[in-house]
Amino acid sequence: MRIAVISDIHANLHALETVLAAVDAEGVDALWCLGDLVGYGPRPNECVALMRQRADVCLAGNHDLVVLGKIDSSAFTGEASAAATWTRRVLDADSERFLAGLEPSARAPGAELFHGSPGDPVWDYVLDKRTAFSSFRATTAPLVLVGHSHVALEISDRDPLQGDQAAAGTVLELDEVRRILNPGSVGQPRDGDPRAAWLVIDTTSRRATFCRTDYPIELTQAEMREQGLPKALSERLAQGV
C-alpha cells in the first residue's frame, strides 16, 4: 500500500492542486492530511472541498480550530490572527461543517497521526530529539506522523535518537525501528525550501520518500494581495520561511 501524507495546506490552492497532481502521478492508494487546511492563505473553501473529496484521513489543526472558534487565538501573531479573522468571514457553510467534524489526532493502520504532538495534538511542536523522545514514549505505533511545524523531519527511535530535517528526495528504509515523520507543509514551508512538501509511505517496499514540488507561488501571492491578507504572509512563501 502506498500512502501520500500531506499537512499544513493553509488555503494555498495552487500548492495543493500541484501536490495532488503529483500524488496522482505516483498512483497512491490513500491520502492522509495532518491538518491546518485553512489560515494564512486566500482559498480556504476550495482547499477544504478538495480534502473533503480526497482525504481518507483528515485531522484538524490549530488554525482550523481557531477559525471555527473552538479554541482561543491569543497564541497567534498579529498576522495569523488577521488571517484567521478574514478566513472566518469567508468560510462557507459546507467548509465549516467539514472542519467541525475533524479531530487533531487519529489512528490509521500502522500509524498514529497528530497535528502537533502526541502530548498536545493542537499546539505542541515536535522539532528536535527532546520533543521526539517524549512523543515516542507517548505512542506505540511503528510510525508517528506529525505536522504543525512546517518543517520536513524524520527521527528514529534508536539509542540515542537519530534523525533531523528531511531534505527533498530523502528516502528512508523503514526497518523495525519506530519513526516520527513530518511531511513538511504544502502551503507555507518554513524549512528554507519554498516548494510544496509531501511524503509517500510505501508499506510494501517499506520506504518513505520526502518529496517537494514547484508550484506557481506568484499566483497565490497575487490572490493574497487581492484579498488584503498581510503582506508578510505572502512574502514568506517565496522564501520558504
Query: Can you give the binding site for Zn ion, defined by CB under 5 A?
Result: 8, 36
CB nearer to Zn ion: give 36 or 193.
36
| Cβ-based neighbours of 218, under 8 Å, separated by 6 or more | none
Cα Rg of the chain, angstroms: 16
Question: Which is closer to Zn ion, CB of 111 or CB of 146?
Answer: 146
Give the strands of the sheet with 171-173, arranged side by side: 57-58, 30-33, 2-6, 196-202, 207-213, 171-173
Q: Which three cell numbers stand for residue 65?
A: 480550530
Q: Which is nearer to Zn ion, 36 or 154 (CB)?
A: 36
CB of 150 to Zn ion, least distance (A): 6
Residue with cell 487581492: 226
Shortest distance in whole angstroms from residue 29 CB to Zn ion: 26
Task: Please check whether residue 12 is in contact with residue 63, taking contact to mean a CB–CB distance below 8 angstroms.
Answer: no
The nearer residue to Zn ion, 8 or 112, going by C-beta atoms, is: 8
Provide the CA 153 distance to its chain's centre, in angstroms.
12
Compare residues 2 and 125 and give the one whose CB is closer to Zn ion. 125
Strand partners, 156: 162, 179
Shortest distance (Å) from residue 144 CB to Zn ion: 18
How many residues are recorded in the chain? 241
